Homo-oligomer: A and B are copies of this chain.
């Protein structure tokens, strides 16, 4: 009955938990603006002090930018060691006039029948990180000890691209290494259905420059005889996808496994409106691989997009030029075991084979990283799913993320750890925007969820 007591402690202490969160939210820890550097440090110090009250060995650690908070707590009984990650920095509050209540004066309000915590950082990420801290506090209160070995790492530069994070992990590898990372910076499926993000697409970035004549040519004097690199590039772009939206680069799908049938069934059954999803950006039809569900298209299928193209005259009006070169930036989203560098090599061959006489291609590699996927067989995932289902009364959606979440790559590459990405944000939290909010349910049941997860992990 230990867990029941922990959950009861969370319920009983909700008001005081909110007071603590509000205290943290009042600190204007805007990381991008040097004028708020002191506030960032103040937030780090507030957190270190807070974590010390839980019996953790907590400290503020300097970096070249804003400091890290690192806290360690040993458990009495042996259990998996978890590393929890969150970030205490927030986006700027601008534009201020659009806030209905001041950005850094957090409030509990009732909006549309829901109680919500309003203020900058409520959802991204102070409210989320405090769900974990409050769960740990409840264990300490109910049981007098930590449920398992915990390291907490809180950074203050997430909103500015985490420049200090990788060097910090590298420099403190042995100290920070744990069995599994817990990251609380993602969303639920909706207000009532929890989610774990288990698939992150990888990325391969490649720029192609097609060169033809040794100078720009007059299209009257040479048009019809001289090869036009924009035309060559257009044909290459057109050839990347076949008519079914599949990518024609040889070997591209090697390692891009089909989705597990269980997950596929879950996604298909979700309350997901394709027309709403696309309608919000002014579109109506999914444009990817034919016969695939939109969620599959964006979460578990690899893609190719051209992110930019330029060549010739691009000012106002016209200029009758055949340019000497034209270039395009390609990005490939990768899944499963697709190998970024093998695909880069194959894509280069694919481009070279299409070059007509007198054209050459120059390539610029702009980086690449493989997809990250938490296996369905992971015991940590299994326990987290059970814990979330128990708390929310419905199975957690195992989501994908089309974009990258760099911290997960860092943890995998640098510390050899898988990450459980579990967060309680919802779509309408307005993160980065005025009137950011976090559902009180997310905060309260979020803390209860972590309590259940930690309890499951230690057993």
Contacts and interface: CB of A to CB of B under 8 A. Distances in A.
A21 interface: no
Nearest to A238: B238
A301 B297 CA distance: 45
Contacts of A101: none
A235 B294 CA distance: 23
B226 A281 contact: yes
Q: Count the copies.
A: 2
A458 to B, nearest CB: 35
Contacts of A357: 284-285, 287
Given A201-B220, A333-B220, A228 B313 contact: no
B358 A284 contact: yes
Contacts of A236: 234
A401 interface: yes
B224 A303 contact: yes
Contact of A205 (B207, B227, B318, B323): B318
Contacts of A375: none
A225 interface: yes
Contact of A321 (B231, B277, B307): B307
B282 A307 contact: no
B309 A224 contact: no
A432 interface: no
A265 B281 CA distance: 59
Interface stretch (A146-154, A173-181, A208-216): A208-216
Contacts of A287: 225-228, 356-358
B237 A298 contact: no
Given A203-B320, A212-B283, A331-B318, A220 B403 contact: yes
A298 B234 contact: no
A219 B286 contact: no
A366 to B, nearest CB: 4
Contacts of A317: 366
B402 A367 contact: no
A217 interface: yes
Nearest to A277: B225
Contacts of A235: 234, 237-238
9 nearest CB pairs, A to B: A220-B403, A234-B237, A214-B282, A238-B238, A308-B312, A227-B287, A224-B297, A308-B313, A285-B357
